[in-house]
Structure 1
């Protein structure tokens, strides 16, 4: 056991699952109330971390201190934490969790020297993210005695984007929804998610492909009013553009609609819309659109507000 772990990355679900496994491994059952302290980086003081870490374990060989939002620690609290790590308690494991720490941050450097830094992030490239999401969905379903068909996996990605938290919620609901059936197919995904949401996403893509600005903004606003998150919508839109690229390749190979439906994971009622959109969209324009959405993704993640405006401007740009 290292005296300190730093869990870095914006994939909250992966971090939380690792923390859960670490706690169950290091703490005997029933010892959580006696030997686990949970602190928040926005509230912790200079004395909090060292004093909690130097507390003697009660009826157990070790105790744990979980520091959430470590990236919100004030400078003087980091100073005290780094000083503690010069002589950490041999019976305490300090677990720091943060979305991001700048390269060269003194806390990051010190933890790298005396403990372990673990990073939780999906691959940067879109195909890599989608592959990892599909692998993760299969594993999640398998843990509950179910299996996802490849078409169901692709449809879920189309509807939710490469967002592990949202995908986990949908896979869990689908496992309950299918009851005693072992296999989860696209029909189950459509039935659970709802035809309205499925149609709304494909209508948005179709309007963007036709450069129908009014129609695209109307679809976008309708989806946002129904509670869709701007960042999630951006991921869905980017995936739809990648589907159009793949559809153009399949059209060039003279693949029949049924085969295209299977390979893309698109419900058959919407295949004609995808093929029509692919036919009227040039490959350079699709690639430019994906580059534009990547830029908007960076802006959305770094901005404190105005996410809806950024997304609407991106749709206007795609339709121009």
Structure 2
């Protein structure tokens, strides 16, 4: 069953479903939606939480074992299944369908995955996740440029701040569509607002130009094959205090897009048709850049870097050992064409 954000809130008030699926590409919106479900699980008494990360070597027997094992610590359990590549494969699809057909008692399954493309949505496993009565499928839609001022107005209002139209326009221009950066700027603006009113002058004084341009210069450098330049930009961003989630957001978005395009290319679909099928379609000036990157690496490589990006996300959250910046640097140089010896 498909749900929007409002319907999800009502569903969680009524009780937990056996399975929740959160699908989308924006890290802030998908993360907050998953957090909302986790909070509802805790409120319902879930004290035990298991997290599985699906990559090419994932053993789907682990999910079966988890569904048939008895909880030793709590009556309610939350099991998270994270699929950064967006496709569980034949074995994974069968495992998900089997779970839905016979959901284990006192257990909630939370599946997170990127936005499903057209071919994925037509697959049997995806249709089952979307349509099965035991499942609640939440599609996270991106906030476009026209919706961004309204989204920020509501976000600021939730923080007790009333913003002028001029302030919203200026703030929108500064963050350039990066919702994670927008959320961080709103948190800073709470310290600068007098009387809960935000005007353009306050934004001008308090909000530095978004690092998004430099972050996307990083993505362009690695796609061009300029490893040293990519590392210089990455180290510069870190030195300027740019948060790792902002950098990860930009890099992961490129990786997901290129992973899907590489899979289509491997199936023999012409590159121009692949570019035209993207939403939004690839700009002409970016086509040579993406073509070069796709010719340099096979589909498997893009999937491997998505797994490293997932690892960086876990490192940011303290769920995996090591430095997220080291993981980001590894992605940058390997996408540039330099293979590291690990």
Q: C-alpha distance in 2, partners of 1:225/1:186?
A: 32
Listed as ranges, the gaps of 5+ residues in structure 2 are 1-15, 214-231, 251-279, 295-301, 306-330, 333-342
Distance 1:175 1:164, change over 3 A: same
Distance 1:224 1:72, change over 3 A: same
Aligned to 2:197: 183
Aligned to 1:37: 50
State the TM-score, normalized to the length of structure 1. Answer: 0.56
Task: Work out which of the residue numbers 184, 189, 201 in structure 2 matches 1:169.
Answer: 184
**1:120 pairs with 2:135:** no
Distance 1:88 1:224, change over 3 A: closer
Q: Rg larger in 1 or in 2?
A: 1
Distance 1:225 1:67, change over 3 A: closer
Task: Write 1 or 2 for the structure with the bigger share of helix.
Answer: 1
Instruction: Give the conservation status (yes or no) of the 8 Å contact 1:147–1:182.
Output: yes
Shift of 1:65: 1.0
Count the aligned residue pairs.
Answer: 218
Task: Work out which of the residue numbers 100, 109, 114 in structure 1 matches 2:115.
Answer: 100
Q: C-alpha distance in 1, partners of 2:128/2:65?
A: 19
Aligned to 1:130: 145
Q: C-alpha distance in 2, partners of 1:225/1:150?
A: 36
Q: C-alpha distance in 2, partners of 1:192/1:165?
A: 17
Q: C-alpha distance in 2, partners of 1:67/1:294?
A: 37
What do you get for the CA RMSD once the two structures are aligned?
Answer: 3.9
Instruction: Give the conservation status (yes or no) of the 8 Å contact 2:23–2:138.
Output: yes
> How does 1:1-320 map onto structure 2 within 5 Å?
1-28=16-43, 34-42=47-55, 44-57=58-71, 62-69=76-83, 71=86, 73-101=88-116, 102-114=120-132, 115-122=135-142, 129-176=144-191, 178=192, 180-194=194-208, 197=209, 227=237, 293=283, 296=286
Shift of 1:73: 3.6
Shift of 1:175: 1.5
State the TM-score, normalized to the length of structure 2. Answer: 0.53
Instruction: Give the conservation status (yes or no) of the 8 Å contact 2:193–2:202.
Output: no
Listed as ranges, the gaps of 5+ residues in structure 1 are 124-128, 202-221, 233-289, 308-320
